[in-house]
Copies of this chain bind each other. A is one copy, B any other.
């Protein structure tokens, strides 16, 4: 039992150079010795349990965080007191980028399941970026990618029906799982209908109804958290594809 814990901690504390996420994460495109310099500033704590906070809105910003295993949601509080989900974050995704700006976190983050995190002290990351041009470049790309991603999300929320939003959400998860080596068509949702609805700006009932409908139409098989995509074609067909098609054969990351 103790033995088992030790092994699992060791696995979690794997160095960047040996980490399976290195093609998704910050080290992407760095030279091996630069990866080691980056690795030297990474701090790896014990895993978070479901419900644990990674950080809270208003807290001072010190670190960026990368999800290593598990899943995290970020959220803010509306003034009616209920929470508004801002994003779901899978392994290799970086959290805290919005906080660089004013030195404090604008949203809270908590684990949706048992989750391992790599912590990067931002001041040290800045120093390192000054000395490693390719890391600076990678940082710029990372930030820019976040901007693009949010712009896409705005476009989605903006001009689309409930059907499109739920379809997009499933497609996005599917693609992200696939890139991480999991099944693109058979996975478990680590978040509730409530949280999905909050994220997509839909009532939880609407999410539920669409899952049911997609199932009735033979597109999905849904049983609670377990989702199987039976007809990815049709799901893709529901989504408004960006017209500037050129972007598609450009960048195959995150």
* Chain A residues engaging chain B, CB cutoff 8 angstroms: 57-58, 76-79, 81, 84, 86, 97-104, 106-107, 126, 129-130, 133, 136-137, 139-141, 143-148, 150-151, 153-155, 157-159, 201, 240-244, 246-247, 250-251
Contacts and interface: CB of A to CB of B under 8 A. Distances in A.
A155 B83 CA distance: 11
A230 B28 CA distance: 53
Given A100-B144, A101-B251, A150-B151, 14 more contacts: A57-B244, A76-B242, A77-B243, A101-B141, A102-B247, A104-B250, A107-B244, A126-B140, A130-B133, A136-B136, A146-B147, A150-B150, A157-B157, A157-B201
B78 A244 contact: no
A53 to B, nearest CB: 14
Contacts of A137: 126
Contacts of A126: 133, 136-137, 140
A143 B99 CA distance: 11
28 contacts: A57-B247, A58-B244, A76-B242, A77-B244, A78-B159, A78-B240, A81-B243, A84-B159, A98-B144, A98-B148, A100-B143, A102-B247, A104-B246, A104-B247, A104-B250, A106-B151, A106-B244, A107-B151, A129-B136, A130-B133, A136-B136, A139-B140, A143-B143, A143-B147, A146-B147, A150-B151, A157-B157, A157-B201
Given A58-B247, A84-B159, A136-B126, A101 B240 contact: no
Contacts of A145: 101
Contacts of A99: 144
Contacts of A150: 147, 150-151, 154
A213 to B, nearest CB: 23
A133 B123 CA distance: 11
Nearest to A122: B140
